[in-house]
Amino acid sequence: MFEFILAATARSYYFLRRFMPTNIVIDAINTRRGLKWGVPAMLLAVPYGLAAVYCAALVEAGGSGWLNVLVLLFIWNALKFLVVGPVSLLRLMSVRVRESRTRRRMTQAQSSENVTPERVDQPELAERHR
């Protein structure tokens, strides 16, 4: 029974991760090319917040109680987009620091290869220097 529950949970998780629009957008933001779009994506939290307020107002005005599920869903999606902005900004900064460090090391390695004097104790180099 436990194995069945675990398998169903895993399958539903991967289904939601793959086909739900907010998860697709957040996965695209978490790529190297998409990290710069994290902060503008925070603006997507505004429509979700407005939709949550609207559905909550409908529930209080006598609407169906099932709208509370939509309120929770809209709030959850708004929170996801609010969190992805600062997290992607921090990840972008760390990636850029790592890339600049690598670029600096490559430049130093290339310049040290050009400046290093040739060793004459190796036979093939010794023949070239004669």
Q: Which residues of the chain have pLDDT under 50?
A: none
- pTM value? 0.70
Domain boundaries, the chain: 18-115
Residues 6+ apart with CB under 8 A from 87: 38
Residue pair 39/92 in contact (Cβ under 8 Å)? The answer is no
pLDDT at 13: 85
Please report, for residues 47, 58, 84, 112, the alpha-carbon distance to residue 19 in angstroms, rounded to integers and kept in the order given.
20, 28, 19, 51
